[in-house]
Amino acid sequence: MSAFIHFFRDDYSEGCHPNILRALEETALIQQIGYGRDDYSIEARAAIAKLIPGYDADIHFVSGGTQANLVVIAAALKPYQSVVAAQTGHINGHEAGAIEATGHRVEIVDTTDGKVTVDRLEPLVAQLGNANSTQPKMVYLSNTTELGTVYSKVELTALSAFCRTQGWYLFLDGARLPAALTAAGNDLTLADIGALTDAFSIGGTKNGGLFGEVLVMVHPELRSGFGYHLKQRGALLAKGRVLGLQFRELFRDNLIFELAGHANAQAQIMAQALEKLGYPFLVPPCSNQLFPILPKWVIDKLAEKYLFHVWQPIDREHAAIRLVTSWATTEAVCTQFIRELMSV
Contacting a second copy within 144-203 (CB under 8 A)? none
Residue of 43, 64, 279, 314 interacting with a second copy (CB under 8 A): 64
Contact segment (CB under 8 A) with a second copy among 93-101, 113-121, 159-167, 281-289 equals 93-101
Identify whether the C-beta of residue 256 lies closer than 8 Å to the C-beta of residue 178. yes
**Shortest spacing between CB 133 and a second copy, in angstroms:** 6
Q: Using the rule CB under 8 A, is 67 a contact of a second copy?
A: yes
- CA–CA separation, 152 and 180 (whole Å): 10
| Torsion angle (degrees, nearest 10) of CA 140, 143, 149, 152 | 90
**Shortest spacing between CB 69 and a second copy, in angstroms:** 8
- CA–CA separation, 28 and 78 (whole Å): 42
In the complex with a second copy, the residue whose CB is nearer, 115 or 241, is 241
**Shortest spacing between CB 342 and a second copy, in angstroms:** 23
State whether residue 175 is helix, strand or coil: coil
Residue type, 29: L
- CA–CA separation, 327 and 70 (whole Å): 27
In the complex with a second copy, the residue whose CB is nearer, 80 or 297, is 80
Q: Using the rule CB under 8 A, is 125 a contact of a second copy?
A: no
Q: Using the rule CB under 8 A, is 105 a contact of a second copy?
A: yes
Report the half-sphere exposure of 136 (CA within 13 A, side-chain side).
Answer: 25
Q: Using the rule CB under 8 A, is 9 a contact of a second copy?
A: yes
**Shortest spacing between CB 232 and a second copy, in angstroms:** 4
Contact segment (CB under 8 A) with a second copy among 48-56, 74-82, 179-187, 292-300 equals 74-82
**Shortest spacing between CB 241 and a second copy, in angstroms:** 7
Q: Name the nearest CA neighbour of 87 among 69, 113, 105, 64.
A: 113
Residue of 180, 190, 235, 259 interacting with a second copy (CB under 8 A): 235
Contact segment (CB under 8 A) with a second copy among 66-74, 151-159, 247-255, 289-297 equals 66-74
Q: Using the rule CB under 8 A, is 252 a contact of a second copy?
A: no
Contacting a second copy within 26-55 (CB under 8 A)? 27-35
In the complex with a second copy, the residue whose CB is nearer, 133 or 157, is 133
Contact segment (CB under 8 A) with a second copy among 117-125, 149-157, 221-229, 286-294 equals 221-229
Contacting a second copy within 286-305 (CB under 8 A)? none
Contact segment (CB under 8 A) with a second copy among 100-108, 118-126, 177-185, 312-320 equals 100-108
Q: Using the rule CB under 8 A, is 63 a contact of a second copy?
A: yes
Q: Using the rule CB under 8 A, is 126 a contact of a second copy?
A: no
Residue of 120, 219, 233, 305 interacting with a second copy (CB under 8 A): 233
State whether residue 138 is helix, strand or coil: strand
DSSP 180-225: HHTSTT----HHHHHHH-SEEEEESGGGTSSS-EEEEE-SHHHHTT
Identify whether the C-beta of residue 48 lies closer than 8 Å to the C-beta of residue 251. yes
- CA–CA separation, 287 and 267 (whole Å): 7
Structural element, H or E, at residue 66: helix 65-76
Size of the site for a second copy (CB under 8 A): 78
- CA–CA separation, 65 and 209 (whole Å): 13
C-beta atoms surrounding 178 within 10 Å: 31
